[in-house]
Structures are given as structure tokens and as C-alpha cells.
Amino acid sequence: MSPPSPTFTLLGTAQDGGVPQAGCACSNCTSAHLDDSRRRFPVAAGVADGAGGFHLIEATRALPDQLHVWAQAIDSSTPIIPTSVLLTHVHLGHVDGIGQFGNEAMGLTGLPLIASQAAIDALRSRGSIAAFEPRPILSGSTHRLTEDSRVTFEFVQVPHRDEESDTHAIIIRGPNSSILFLPDHDDWTQTLALHHVEDIRSWLEELRVDHALVDGTFWDSGELSGRDTEDVPHPPVALTLENLGERRGDDPEIHFIHLNHSNPLNEPESSERRHLESLGWKVAERGWSVNL
């Protein structure tokens, strides 16, 4: 029997607070309370590497639901127990499920935790890694996490409000396709300058990815009533679309992830979403899977 194909599955698509967000009665949150299909879990992904490894990217508060979504996506008759956890950074929504691996819930020990040294140190200072065996990575490094696996993980540093630790995107490469997972960065100007490229399309071409899951937190800079988006910097989707224009034949497939509850892209019939889709791009949906 041939080994199973490596698979990437998107387990969550929202910003750290999810949709609905606590304490909010905006139209998107209200709709999500009334209609489960409008709910969005905080951003996360799972990679089944085809060699017995199950690698969870980000550990959110929605962990039980997300492991169930993952099992359904790969037709597993038993619950998924991750064999490693990878983190892009340590902001709350990306790590507030870390405790569920310990004695109070899953009771695991020695689980490999793949992240930068700064991220590991930040979690250690919070007393959050008792269940884990930390394995620090370096920016630009590539890792094969299971013996005989055909999948690799490459960590790519990006600028993002690094008050506690640094931040990385992760490129997942398999024998048939590759994915950029970029839920958070401050803005395209800084990110492109860091990697010495002039525009988004050139960077994605340099990275050689077939699919790009990119930061779509806010639609525009005026989105948060009463709050300054400069306090939570992310590149507005509207500006990303100005940079990209229409999708071309050789472009990777781009999905926008990490949507804040305020983002009009949460509304399936919004003019903003219709505009994005008319250009050939997509709003990410939970359960989206790709054979790697």
C-alpha cells in the first residue's frame, strides 16, 4: 500500500479574538452567534506529513474543535494527537491553547515545540511549556520533523510588533505543492524591505509557493471605531489588493486569513468581498485542504 499523501488543512481563519469576539455586538459577531457557519476560529493549520507526523501550526483556544476539523478533513476515524507544535510568534490568540497539552487536559509530555528562541523564552517566562520539548529554530532554517517525511517547514522572519518575541511566516513544502502561512506582519513596506524585493508578487515568486495565506486582519485603516489600527498594525487588505491588482495566470492562489471580527470580508455578500473575488483572490475558509 502506498503511503498517504501529505496534506495541509486550514483549521482557523480569524484574528486572535475569533468571530464572534468577546464583548462585541457588531453585525459580524451577532450573525456568528445566530449562525454557526459564520463563526471563525482563531488562525491555525494542521499538516499531516504522510509519514506518521501530525504538525499543528499555532495553538489556539479553539484547539478541541480544530483537532476535530482536522480529523474530519483527512478522514481520520480517531482524534488527531499532534506530534509537534509550531508557532509563528507568541501573541495571545496564537498560543492561548498551549496549556491544553498539559496535565489539566491532554496530559502530554515531551511534545516538540518548534519556534524561535525568543518565542520559546517568552513562553518559558509565562510557565507555559511544561508539556513540551523546546526545539528552537533560526530564521531561514528548514526542518523535516518526521523521519522519511516528504514535507519540510521553513521559517521566514517578518516584522510584527515584536515586543515579546520575533515573528515568522512558515513555508510548508511537499512533493507536489507549497504554501506560505503568513497570518501576521506589520505592513508590506517593512516586510518587502527586509527581504529586498519591491512588490508582493516578486516576493511570492522568489519564495516559490503555489498558495499564499496572507494577513487580512483589517479591510482598511479606519475599520476600528474608537481605536487606532496603528496600535495593532497589519497591512490593510485594500492596500494589498492595490499592490496586487488582478490575479495573473502564473500567480499563486492567495487566501486572506486572520480576519478581525470587524472586517467586512466576514460578510459573504459584502461589496468588499465581491471586489476581492472579482480580482481572482479568495477569503480563506476553515477546512480548506491541499495535497502537499
- Pick from 190, 175, 286, 199: which is nearest to 251 by CA? 199
Domains of the chain: 7-291 (3.60.15.10)
Q: What is residue 4's predicted lDDT score, i.e. its pLDDT?
A: 67
Kindly report the length of the chain.
292
**For residues 278 and 28, what is the distance between their CA atoms, to the nearest angstrom?**
22
Q: Can you say how many angstroms the Cα of residue 218 is from the centroid of all Cα atoms in its chain? A: 15
Copy the grid coordinates of residue 118: 525568543
pLDDT at 176: 95
d(CA 53, CA 69): 17
> Residue 209 CB: number of other CB atoms within 10 A?
22
CA-nearest of 155, 129, 132 to 142 is: 155
**What is 208-234 written as a DSSP string?**
T-SEEEEE---SSTT-STTS-GGGS--
Hey, what amino acid is at 142? T
Walk along the chain (292 residues) in steps of 10 and give the mean pLDDT of each run.
78 94 89 91 97 97 96 92 96 92 90 96 89 94 92 95 88 97 94 96 97 95 63 86 95 97 95 98 97 96
**Which pLDDT value is given to residue 163?**
75
Q: What integer pLDDT is reported at residue 104 of this predicted model?
A: 87
Quick one: pLDDT at residue 231?
60
SS3 182: strand
pLDDT for the residue numbered 243: 94
CA distances to 54, 164, 172 from 178, rounded to whole Å, are 17, 29, 6
Looking at residue 232, its pLDDT comes to 67
CA dihedral 48, 54, 58, 61 (to 10 degrees): 110
Cα–Cα distance for residue pair 235/45, rounded to 1 Å:
21
